[in-house]
Amino acid sequence: MKIAITGSRGIPNNYGGFEQCAENLAVLLVEAGHDVTVYNPDYHDYNSDNYKGVRIVKQWNPEKKIGTAGNFIYDLHCMKHAINENCDILLVLGYTTASVFFPFLNKKKSILVTNMDGLEWKRDKWNAVVKKLALWFEKLGAKYSDYLVSDNREIRNYLQRTYNTDSTFIAYGATLFTDPQEKVLKEYNVETGAYDIIIARLEKENNVETALDGVILSKSSTTTLVIGNHQTEYGNYLKEKYKSYSHIRFMGGIYNLDHLNNLRWYSRFYFHGHSVGGTNPSLLEAMSSGAFILAHDNLFNRDVLGSNAYYFGNPEEAAKLLREPEKLLTSRQNFINANFLKIENEYNWQKITNEYEQLFKTVLTSHNK
């Protein structure tokens, strides 16, 4: 099959979840014998036109000059290029800056498959106007895609319930971390099992404040590392709020994956506060690197973790968990082992690639009848 993947900031991944998905999926599809193109923005620092057998096509993206609006231009150029080349499958990762063009695409023989991501219109960082726009983009994605992919069973249920639209559940993947190096901890002035950790973009819907309020209410004196860019308005608000608590340490962004894996592996508790939908890549990374997870209580996190985590919905519930660490820690190894098995059996990239490949074959056969 001739497959084009758009909607990411390019490969090799130096940004986030969709880029991780594009990279792993594209490379494994090429290994399976398919012709795969991934679109990169012109500012991506990878300059070859080939990455492990994947064809790389750069397209102009003025995002760095004009902000989010640049991604609309970029997505349109990518999709038009892929369709003009008569790709069999056009896989669009996310609808937010692409779906407004879906009704006008002259797809010819190409089949449009959209990974619908999470509930973008629920993000607290957006104002009321942007939330309405995001909801409209979601509707366009659901209506005008030929086929939909949901990365979480609860997203699939939501699309069925809201738009009476079927979608195929295919999750994200992760790679098991099996080489912990305790010496990494020295760089961050922490010791094994003597710190808790939060790794997230510092945004309201990621419930960093909920977790930290729980830390304060519990009167825990254990070091809590907060990893994520804090040079933002909300980051400055959080730093000001907790400035008198020396055991809460804002570390900024850490982009060394090996260091992040080791910090998760050796932590006491890992807070996962993401709440606006989908299978979050950082949650899979926590599971795959041996973290003992305290997760925000919502349908999406429960779909992934099941009974292999403890849950909190507000600061009081987080505090209650932190007041009884010995009780929780008796479950630690069982939870970690169960999550390792989930990554191996459900959230591994080869399985996910096989599922995408089977979907593409099925829809192509159906389309050509």
DSSP, collapsed to helix, strand or coil, labels residue 277 as coil
pTM above 0.75, yes or no: yes
pLDDT at residue 153, rounded to an integer = 93
Contact 254, 278 (CB under 8 A): no
pLDDT of residue 164: 96
Stated as kind and residue range, the H or E segment containing 162 is helix 153-163
Beta bridge partners of 54: 51
DSSP-derived 3-state class of residue 342: helix
Strand partners, 226: 198, 250
Per-residue pLDDT, 152 = 92
Where do we find the tokens 């050509």? 368
Helices 17-31 and 349-367: angle between axes, nearest 10 degrees: 70
Q: In terms of C-beta density within 10 A (0-12 exposed, 13-18 middle, 19 or more buried), how is residue 324 classed?
A: exposed
- CB-facing half-sphere around the CA of 193: CA atoms within 13 A: 4
- Residues with Cβ within 8 Å of residue 242, at least 6 apart in sequence: 212, 216, 248
Specify the pairing of strand 310-312 against strand 223-227. unpaired
**Residue 234 φ/ψ, nearest 5 degrees:** -70, -35
Distances (CA, A) of 225 to 50, 271, 313: 39, 10, 20
CB 122 within 8 A of CB 277: yes
For residue 369, the model assigns a pLDDT of: 66
Helix (H), strand (E) at residue 295: strand 293-296
Please give the domain boundaries of the chain with CATH numbers for all domains: 2-173+348-367 (3.40.50.2000), 182-345 (3.40.50.2000)
In tens digits, what is the pLDDT along the chain, a chain of 369 residues? Answer: 999 999 999 999 887 788 999 999 999 999 999 999 999 999 999 999 999 999 999 999 999 999 989 999 999 999 999 999 999 999 999 998 999 999 999 888 899 999 998 777 777 777 888 889 989 999 999 999 999 999 999 999 999 999 999 999 999 999 999 999 999 999 999 999 999 999 998 999 999 999 999 999 999 999 999 999 999 999 999 999 999 999 999 999 998 999 999 999 999 999 999 988 788 999 999 999 999 999 999 999 999 999 999 999 999 999 999 999 999 999 999 999 999 999 999 999 999 999 999 999 999 998 876
- Report CA torsion sign: 45, 49, 55, 56: positive
Q: DSSP string spanning 24-59?
A: HHHHHHHHTT-EEEEEEETT-S---SEETTEEEEEE
Whether 57 contacts 79, CB under 8 Å: no
**Predicted pLDDT at 34:** 98
Geometric angle at alpha carbon 342, from 332 and 349, rounded to 5°: 135
Q: Are 95 and 117 in contact (CB under 8 A)?
A: yes
